Amino acid sequence: DTEVTQTPKHLVMGMTNKKSLKCEQHMGHRAMYWYKQKAKKPPELMFVYSYEKLSINESVPSRFSPECPNSSLLNLHLHALQPEDSALYLCASSQGGRDRNIQYFGAGTRLSVL
Amino acid sequence: AQSVTQLDSHVSVSEGTPVLLRCNYSSSYSPSLFWYVQHPNKGLQLLLKYTSAATLVKGINGFEAEFKKSETSFHLTKPSAHMSDAAEYFCVVSVLQGAQKLVFGQGTRLTINP
């Protein structure tokens, strides 16, 4: 099983709302990632968790707050977003620790901020 | 810094004809390179990876890529295009900066004409 599951698939929220994106994997991977992808652009890395600790934060605004409750689960908490934050948010996981490791991607959450 | 450049933003071929998607890389050491495919409104799926073993790498769905150090290239090919190959293709180099980071090319949109 190489599945990364993301929920919800679609999300519409206002600029004052608080919402969360969820990502789950059961491959025993110890690294998990959040990416943001705008239309017709490649994914941009936001956060990396390695062994449940935040390893990389690519200078993401604080209105995005990641959380890794356990090795299988990754959340992205959203608060006071802007319309320009509308995008496809992708989660990925890998065994971690080596540059040759394969990252497996979920199908993404399509976020619209009104 | 490691990077990849996809030489074509859009490639259009007829069904049954060969596919060539071009990628050049920049790296100070032997890189880990990947090709990912993204169908519309979907996540990313790994096609193949190169990690310094055989220079000709075979992937899924009949795709293959050849690592050429002298040309710093990692072009993706398929002998005969199928309608289902229409998608966005990303050439990716993997780096270690405390954790694994994927550096994406800008993508090549492949269109298949009937």
- Print pLDDT tens along chain B (114 aa): 889 999 999 999 999 999 999 999 998 788 899 999 999 888 899 999 998 778 999 999 999 999 999 999 999 999 999 999 999 999 999 988 878 889 999 999 999 999
pLDDT tens-digit readout, A50-78: 999 999 999 999 999 999 999 999 999 99
Structure-block tokens of residue B105: 């090319």
- pLDDT at position B2 is 87
* Average pLDDT of the segment spanning A20-24: 98
The mean pLDDT of chain A is 93
- pLDDT at position A60 is 96
Q: Which of residues 25-44 of B touch A (CB under 8 A)?
A: 32, 34, 36, 41-44
Decide if pLDDT at A13 tops 90: yes
* Backbone angles phi and psi of A6, in degrees to 5: -115, 140
Q: Is B45 on the interface with A (CB under 8 A)?
A: yes
Q: What share of chain B is helix, strand, coil (3-state, %, to 5)?
A: 5, 55, 40
Angle ∠(B85,B87,B89) on CA atoms, nearest 5: 105
Q: Minimal Cα–Cα distance from B62 to chain A, Å?
A: 19
Decide if pLDDT at A22 tops 80: yes
Decide if pLDDT at A1 tops 70: no
**What secondary structure does DSSP assign to A18-39, as a single string?**
EEEEEEEE-S--SEEEEEEE-T
CB contact under 8 A, B43 and A107: yes
Q: Minimal Cα–Cα distance from A12 to chain B, Å?
A: 16
Q: Which residues fall within 8 angstroms of residue A5, CB to CB, at 6 or more apart?
A: A23, A24, A25, A106
